[in-house]
Amino acid sequence: MEGNMKNKNRIVAILLATMSLSAIASQSSFVRDAFDFIAPTVTDKDNLTNTAQYGTIVYDNTDGNFVGLDNTGSWQQLTNSSQSFKYAKLWEQESDSTAGGTSTGSSWNTRVLNQESDPYGIVTLSSNRFTLEAGTYVIRVHAPAYKPTSHRLRIYNYSDSSTEHLGTNYHIDSAVNATDIAEVSGLVTISAQKTFQVDHWIENGVTSNGLGTASGDSEVEVYTTVEIIQLQ
């Protein structure tokens, strides 16, 4: 029960991360439901269709439902009073003091994913790619990069050879000996089984630890992390 409550609370931050700034700024109130979804309230979601981003989540006060804008520009109902959700987590795990590996400059670097926690059986992980069945999901990713200069993440639809979501641009000067964290999140609606991967664009490649520096704290090292919540 404790683990399930933690998963429900986690969805608050993930869903807030998918909202467009314009959608948030134009609303005066937010709504939380029994499953801890939080979203700005709207009286007519169709007024947002032309300006909202794919993946925007709002509470439609007229219909009394949380809805998300899918990749076809249509609003999909996400929750109601009887609906729950399913959570899975994927990540890259290496042994203590093992760095994240070499980053290739001016290129999309496919991130390693080699561990999973999937109590509901919603995802299949193989060769750094994850496969989802037909449905609606919120996916959130974050990954480190060492001295990358400009960099960002994308959720790549390997099945369709297309970018599903692009992350925010980040920049840290390569002269600074520091690690930066990139993130990407969004709503994904698929009508059939699809396979995805996480790619990381990095301007300045670094040998051995460009994809993450080791902590060396006697624990395992963790780099790329993917959180998946199945809404439908």
Residue that is last in its domain, among 24, 49, 79: 79
- Mark whether 211 and 103 lie in a shared domain: yes
For residue 153, is pLDDT > 80? yes
Q: Give the span between the Cα atoms of 223 and 138, in whole angstroms.
A: 20
Residue that is last in its domain, among 79, 95, 110: 79
The reported pLDDT for the residue numbered 103 is 98
- Mark whether 159 and 62 lie in a shared domain: no
Q: Identify which has the larger pLDDT, 43 or 171.
A: 171
- Mark whether 157 and 96 lie in a shared domain: yes
Domain containing 45 equals 2-79
- Mark whether 109 and 223 lie in a shared domain: yes
Q: If you search the block for the tokens 């699809």, which residue do you land on? A: 194
- Mark whether 213 and 98 lie in a shared domain: yes
Average pLDDT, stretch 28-37?
42
- Do residues 182 and 198 lie in contact, with contact meaning Cβ atoms separated by under 8 Å? no
The pTM (predicted TM-score) of the whole model is 0.71
Mention every residue, 6+ apart, whose C-beta is less than 8 A from residue 185: 14, 17, 18, 55, 138, 139, 140, 141, 165, 167
- Mark whether 116 and 200 lie in a shared domain: yes
- Mark whether 195 and 118 lie in a shared domain: yes
- Mark whether 132 and 203 lie in a shared domain: yes
Q: Say which CATH number the domain at 136 has.
A: 2.60.120.40
- Mark whether 113 and 217 lie in a shared domain: yes
For residue 9, is pLDDT > 60? no
- Mark whether 53 and 92 lie in a shared domain: no
Q: How many domains does the chain have?
A: 2
Degrees (nearest 5) of the Cα angle 33, 37, 43?
A: 75
The reported pLDDT for the residue numbered 86 is 87
What single-letter DSSP state applies at residue 105? T
Residue that is last in its domain, among 79, 104, 123: 79
- Mark whether 119 and 74 lie in a shared domain: no
* 54: three-class secondary structure by DSSP: coil
Q: Give the span between the Cα atoms of 39 and 43, in whole angstroms.
A: 13
Q: Identify which has the larger pLDDT, 125 or 16.
A: 125
The chain-wide mean pLDDT, for the chain, equals 82
Q: Give the span between the Cα atoms of 17 and 168, in whole angstroms.
A: 11
Whose CA is closest to 145, among 180, 184, 183?
A: 180
The reported pLDDT for the residue numbered 10 is 43
- Mark whether 71 and 118 lie in a shared domain: no
